[in-house]
Amino acid sequence: MLEGVSLPIGPEWIAVCGAAAFAGGFIRGFVGFGGAVMLILAVSAVIGPREAVAIAALSGLPPMLQLLPAAIRTAERGFAVPFGLASFLGAPLGTLTLVSVAPGVMKIGIAVFVLAMVLLLRSGRSIPLGDSRARIIAAGIGAGWIQGVAGVAGPPTVALVLGRGGEPAQQRANVIGAVTAMNFCSLGPLWWYGLFTREVIVLALLFVPLYSVGTWLGQRYFTEKGQRLYRQAALAALTGIGLLTLAKALADYWPG
């Protein structure tokens, strides 16, 4: 598999990114999101944001398929279906932005938005999305754009889902359904702009086993004892990922 392929990172960084894939897989299996952000943060530190988004999109496919069957049975279709379909409209615009504009400022804005949503949710207030089909579609288009431009639509999507309320199992299923759509909606535009290089594909394949094992462990933890902890765990993950994304974006924007 590696013949004729010169990987852009050495063994030590492959190990670091593999550990990030495993940790991200566990988080995704438990709360339904967060895996891509963990991997993107690690990979983009070495080879850049475009390749990182492409690697995360590919390596996240098998774990997504692990979680999807159970989520389909539990998800709120009135939210997940229109939101997911709308994301396919926003993703091409986001990928066009990714290949055309430096993503530093946008990543800072996304991270600040996520942290603001966390503060809103912790205050006990809800995000005014409701059952309005137009608002759900608009939110899906926006999430698709964020996925295309930065590969981190999961946190804003989760903030919206948590704001809708509901049982932990249904909230997690809504998250998984929406985040699955985010992952799939980014594949076509990434391929169109030539980001699925041989090196990207090989690295993604290297990370899949660790990502999948972490996802299985996280899903098992949620099933056995994690449901009562879901909302607090999701908010904690949102806070941590938002802070990490903001710190990385600020470091990239002001490298000095």
* Residue range 172-231, pLDDT digits in tens: 888 888 888 878 888 888 898 888 988 899 999 999 999 999 999 988 888 877 777 777
pTM of the model: 0.74
How far, in Å, CA of 250 to CA of 241, rounded?
A: 14
How far, in Å, CA of 56 to CA of 87, rounded?
A: 18
Supply the pLDDT for residue 205.
92
Supply the pLDDT for residue 6.
62
Supply the pLDDT for residue 256.
54
How far, in Å, CA of 243 to CA of 107, rounded?
A: 11
Supply the pLDDT for residue 153.
73
Q: Which of 51-60, 65-74, 221-230 has the lowest mean pLDDT?
A: 221-230
Residue 255: pLDDT above 70? no
What would the DSSP string read from start to end of 52-103?
HHHHHHHHTHHHHHHHHHHHHHHS-HHHHHHHHHHHHHHHHHHHHHHHHS-S
Supply the pLDDT for residue 154.
72
Residue 43 is inside which H or E element, if any? helix 35-47
R_g of the chain, CA atoms, integer Å: 17
Supply the pLDDT for residue 66.
85
Supply the pLDDT for residue 114.
66
Mean confidence (pLDDT) of the chain:
80
Residue 2: pLDDT above 60? no
3-state secondary structure of 229: helix
Distances (CA, A) of 6 to 107, 136, 206: 29, 44, 14
* Residue range 110-153, pLDDT digits in tens: 677 667 767 766 776 656 666 678 888 988 898 888 877 776 67
* Residue range 161-171, pLDDT digits in tens: 777 777 888 88
Supply the pLDDT for residue 229.
78
Supply the pLDDT for residue 110.
66
How far, in Å, CA of 79 to CA of 130, rounded?
A: 9
Supply the pLDDT for residue 216.
92
